[in-house]
Each structure stands twice: as structure tokens, then as C-alpha cells.
Structure 1
Amino acid sequence: MASPWLTDQQQRTWRLWLSVAELLPRTLDAQLQRDAGLTHAAYVVLAMLSEAPDRRLRMSELARMANQSQSRLSHTVARLEERGWVRRERAAEDGRGNVCVLLDDGWDVVRTVAPGHVAAVREALFDVLTDEQAAVLHDALAAVLDGLDPDQSQRRGR
């Protein structure tokens, strides 16, 4: 039995989602490039480290939290290391894994860039929604995420 086509409403919603999924990251990337010469992916890595205990995370956990593959994260971290914002070191607990550490210069970047990034997120996403629409969007996205990641193994903290 063939899968049914999307309804007209589903098709319109899907196409809106495709546009938002393309334009929102592009908008946030532009702000971060302009303000700090950073990609959004690099900023997320710095932000996740800034929120971690002792500003350090195992690379595997950081990849999950930043929604990046291990390979992509390795390239992102290498670029951040070149700028003197992070360093990699062996995990002290078992000596097998690697840990990424946010250095003081990287912490300064996060503190400097975060207010502009928050303003860009607010302007691009929340300022155009009512509080009720934002709540509905939250619930809808949470339902989609629960379907995509039912065991919660691939998502950032909520």
C-alpha cells in the first residue's frame, strides 16, 4: 500500500518548516560571523562548554550536546584551539577519552557574544510570536523531538 500524500495543510506546514530551518540558522550565523567571526556550530560548542561543570566536557558528550558528529566536532574544536579558546586533554578519570576545556579567552568570547546572540534569537524567533504561539511552538517541537529521539540519547538538555 502506497503512502498517502501530505494534505494541503501538511504540505504548507512542511514547506514553512523547510524555509525556517534554512533561514533561521543562516540569520544566526550571520550575526555570529559579524560580531565574532564565529559559525553558529562553533558558538554552540563554546556555549555548551561554558555551562558545563569546570567548563569541560568529554568530546562524546559535547558532540551530543552540540548536535554534531564526532568528526564535525573534531574539526570545530580544532578551529577553536587555533584561536586559543579551547584545549583538548586526556580524560583524567580513565585516560581513554578526550575532554574539551573552555579556556579563559574562550569564556571571554562567550560572555561578549552571548548578549548579541540572545538578541538575534529573540528578534528572529520570539519577537514575532505571541506568548501563546511560543508555548504552542514549544509543545509542537517537543512532540516532534520526542518522536525523533524517544530515548533522549541524542538531544541537548532541556
Structure 2
Amino acid sequence: MKATRWLSDDEQRVWRSYLLANQLLWASLDRQLQRDAGMPHAYYIILAMLSEAPNRELTMSQLAKVVISSPSRLSHAVAKLEQAGWVRRRKHETDGRTTLASLTDDGFAVLAAAAPGHVEEVRSILFDPLTPEQVDQLGAIVSAIVAGQDGRPPHL
């Protein structure tokens, strides 16, 4: 059995700071989007990824990969977005096993209205406290973390 590689005191400090920063960022983004757009951050991400797709449409499998979600969790979220009239699902024309998710015009309008507040919150929480050099360093750090997993996410 391989010996456990415990975190050093410095690594433990950085790990806990990272967790706290991540939790604060996500909680802040979720609060802002609930307040200003009536949706959780997870729904905003789904709408945003669909808005950037060709014809504002992806298969549910593609969408699950892009938003890094399980198929069941994504299906539940898309059902809620569909009830709101922001997303539409339909079977693929040539492959009946494949379901497509499309961003509706109403969904795009909701996303466009929510985007300025969302971007301001991201800027305020994540980028404003940093110098330009720190932004570059953060970019390099998160790229290294992602590359150390399974490569780049499908969307980037």
C-alpha cells in the first residue's frame, strides 16, 4: 500500500484558502443571479453555454460535458429551464436516441439581461482585488490544474 502524501503546513493553508475563496465566489454569484435574474448560477451557465453553441443548440450529452454535470442533474435543470420557456428540447432529426437542447429567444433575452450584473459580480469578486500580474498568474495556475486532470474542458 502506498504511503499517504500528507499536505505540508503551507499546502494545507493554500488548500483551505482556495476552498474558502471558491465557496465565497460561487455563493456570491448564486446570490447575485437569484436576486437579479431569479435563477441559480448553474442555470445561468447552461444558458450561457447554449448561447455560445452553433445555432444556440447542443445535444444533452454535449451540454453535460460543457457544464460538467451528470446527465440526470442536467436533465432536471433543463426541465426547469424548459418550464420557464428559456430552453426547448427535441429529438434529433436523424438520430431519435439523441435529444437536443436549444436556447429560446426568451432564454437568450433573460441571459442578455442577466449578463451585465453577472460580469460585474465576477469582476468585483475575482478580478478587482488582483493586480494584472496576479490575473496572469491565476490564469497560469488554473490552466495547470485543469491540464493536470484530463486536459482542457470541452468548451475552452
**Which bracket does the TM-score occupy, shorter chain normalised?**
over 0.9
Count of residues paired in the alignment: 155
Deviation at 1:94, TM superposition (A): 2.1
Q: Distance in 1 between matches of 2:50 and 2:83?
A: 17
TM-score by length of 2: 0.95
Q: Give 5+ residue unaligned stretches, structure 2.
A: none
Per the alignment, residue 117 of structure 2 pairs with: 116
Q: Cα deviations across residues 52-88 of structure 1 (Å, max 9, x unaligned)?
A: 1111100000011111110110000000011011110
CA RMSD of aligned residues (A): 1.1
Q: Distance in 1 between matches of 2:132 and 2:154?
A: 23
**Amino-acid identity (%):** 50
Per the alignment, residue 128 of structure 2 pairs with: 127
Q: Distance in 2 between matches of 1:132 and 1:34?
A: 32
CA contact (8 A) 1:33 1:39 kept: yes
Q: Distance in 1 between matches of 2:154 and 2:114?
A: 21
Q: Distance in 1 between matches of 2:103 and 2:28?
A: 25
Q: Distance in 2 between matches of 1:93 and 1:62?
A: 19
Per the alignment, residue 57 of structure 1 pairs with: 58
Deviation at 1:95, TM superposition (A): 2.5
1:6 to 2:7 alignment:
yes
Q: Distance in 2 between matches of 1:24 and 1:41?
A: 13
Matched ranges for 1:7-156 at <5 A: 7-150=8-151, 152=152, 155-156=153-154
Q: Distance in 1 between matches of 2:78 and 2:6?
A: 42
Q: Give 5+ residue unaligned stretches, structure 1.
A: none
CA contact (8 A) 1:66 1:156 kept: no
